[in-house]
Each structure stands twice: as C-alpha cells, then as structure tokens.
Amino acid sequence: MLEELNYAARIVGVKQLRRALADGRVRKVFLADDADPALTDPIREACTLAGIPVETAASARQLGQACGISVAATAAGVI
C-alpha cells in the first residue's frame, strides 16, 4: 500500500495536503494511524466528501520513510 508513495508524485504534510485537496489535485490520501485525530479527522472528512480513497499507515515514522523523508509524516497524498 505505501509502495505507491515511492514512485508517485506526492504531497507530504498536513498543510500542503489541505491545499492540494482544496485545489482538487489529490487522488489518494495516506494518514498515520498514530497521528493526532485533530489533524487527521478534517482531512479524512474532506476526502470522504470528495470521494478520495484514504489508507492508513501504522505510524507517522513509517509514512515518512515511505515518502522518502527522514522525519515522521502525519499525512501524505498522491497527486
């Protein structure tokens, strides 16, 4: 599931993902299971309204590694 983030064009981070969702550029969203729900719930809701699939990663660290960054990532999206 996270392998898609290795080769696809992506957005990493809550702020960037919110902007891309508002612009209609996101095809799929990945959220860290251990992230703060105050950050991830609004993104999940926006995806539900827009019909964008949401998948979860076991941890923010795992999601960050899948995105090729050295820090944890709460949210990422494929554009």
- We report the CATH number of the domain holding residue 42 as 3.30.1330.30
CA nearest to 53, candidates 75, 16, 27: 27
The model's pLDDT over 21-47, given as tens digits with 9 standing for 90+, comes to 999 999 999 999 999 999 999 999 999
Q: pTM above 0.75?
A: yes
Interatomic CA distance for residues 75 and 67, integer angstroms? 10
State the total domains in the chain: 1
What is the per-residue pLDDT across 41-70, written as a single tens digit (0 to 9) for each?
999 999 999 999 999 999 999 999 999 999
Split at pLDDT 50, 70, 90, the class of 7 is confident
The range of the structural domain enclosing residue 37 comes to 4-78
